[in-house]
Structure 1
Amino acid sequence: MTAAVSTTDTPLNASPARGSIGISRKFKAYLALTKPRVIELLLVSTLPTMIFAQRGFPSIGLILATLVGGAFAAGSAGVFNCYIDRDIDKLMHRTEKRPLVTGEVTPREALVFAWILGAASIAILWFGANPLSAWLGLGAIVFYVVIYTMILKRRTAQNIVWGGAAGCFPVLIAWAAVTNTVEWPAIVLFMVIFLWTPPHYWPLSMRYGEDYRNANVPMLGAIAGAKVVSVQVVLYAWAMVACSLLMVPVGGAGWVYTIVAVAAGAWFLYESHALYKRAQGGDVSNKGAMKVFHGSISYLTLLFIALAVDPFIGSAIVGG
């Protein structure tokens, strides 16, 4: 099943008041298309990575250019995603209120907005940081829109594994903005987020499994039983925590990062195993799945806060 890309200007569920909505409502509709919660989560990793790469605070101008350019790139990808997926968004309760479904924004308006955001992101990163970060920003957009949304999402239950790599690009962009290179510590952080993505999204797909089945999207949590999904969550969680500890020998992380990586990792592993235990006993609930989903966000936030603090008060454990 392929993602249909139409240029029609007719909303799927047009609102009679579409043409007369106020400026404030229109602005909110455009903002919603960018998936601001996703952007917020991506930016959680950007500034800490820049601080760690610099071993201090980069210039304010560089920070702003990287954050704004990265946010625009993520927003562009989000709008393209909403444009392409508008046919299935109307079939899922979780997404049925998106602006392209309600008619608050037309497909043509969304497509123009996506291109503008994408072009702006590349320009901001190119001139505000460096060309390498701009190319990585472009790569993130293309990967999310083409590889994930258009090719993988509707074809394979492993869609979020490989497609989720787009969400790992912010750490590469951040590192490149500071150093004009992509070094091993950046790759380790990339892999941490890559391995974090399945135990983050699969519990969500367990919660909204009926939605994905209605839309014929083969998310693992929708097509496989809780027993299978919980095993995968545990395996990826262990790999993620192990990978996070590579920042000590590879990136020269100090004791602050190490303590948080071990403690937060142990806590998330506990929650993942709790989900596994309930699933194997046939007692898993939506609440239990969402606890792991929200816990994964807390884990990643704590890890990157520690990464940002570490250069200031955490002496390197290896090679220091």
Structure 2
Amino acid sequence: MNTKRWVAIFLAAALFLTGSAVSLISTVFSTNLEDLFATPERGFEENIIEEGNGQGKIAVIHLSGVIQSNYDTPSLFQSPGYNHRTFLKKLDAAAEDPNVHGVVIRVNTPGGGVVESQEIHDMIVDIQDDYEKPVYISMGSMAASGGYYIAAPAERIYANPQTLTGSIGVIMQSINVAELAEDLGIHSEVIKSGPYKDIMSVTREMTEDERAILQELIDESHELFVDVIDNGRENLSRDEVYELADGRIYSGSQALEAGLIDGLGHFEEVLDDIREDVGRGNLDVVEYQSHLGLPSLFSVAAKSVFSDQLQLYGMKEWMQQNQGPQLLYLYTN
């Protein structure tokens, strides 16, 4: 390698380290040092975003990103995002806190895992049935598939007219590289205990028997999705749900017309409505914010300087974590 190339590499490394240091230092000085190095047992903090009469609280919880438990322990180079375990803790805290009289979940997600969506759905049902606290959903730019699944049992659902929601259905997918492998002279050797052990293998065509087995799984999960909407949306008959549940997406306005949501409104309007519903006057509004620790600060700084490379790294990490096909309530475009 010639001298000029070594100099270029050295300069790039120096710029990266300098930029990261500046970003990190500026963030540190704008953050309480005690909070920076502390690790709350719950994994999140409660902050007042609107002061009210002090007679109780409305808890605001954000659900952003793909609903998947794979990202519960992000690496230093991964951007902070959805953490399933922490999100469930937030729901549990809102349920257990006697001063919380209502919950608003701000949803911005294309959906995600079938199991994770089911866990959130069940907790929302428990908050309303066992703790008798209303849960309102405020949809952001997207609340599709699993995002709608978790919204269905809520007391009321609101969206922006341009929100993308719906995508009611289940998907399982993989790629097939059999022809490419054959062209490249690559052959897969598989030793298996039964004929279906390597079902959905990427190196061979799927058989009709295998397709039937997987379709049965898909149909079972889809039926559960229909059950959730049928139970949660009393204004819709089961036949109407089946008609809506063909996988298409809806705008917020279309969803309102179809009966999938209760109203159109911004986040602040949702807060006004739940306060009125609770009937305790102008309650405080608190937000459960995930803790911003040193790893998160490092990842933010790294992303600002090294964004393109980190996207490639994140894609590689995602592929390593998702080796097999999964049942998903997920909108993919």
The structure in which a higher percent of residues are helix is 1
Structure with max Cα Rg? 2
Normalising by the residue count of structure 2, what TM-score does the alignment of the two structures yield?
A: 0.27
Q: Which has the higher contact order (CA 8 A, sep 6+)?
A: 2
Structure with more strand by fraction: 2
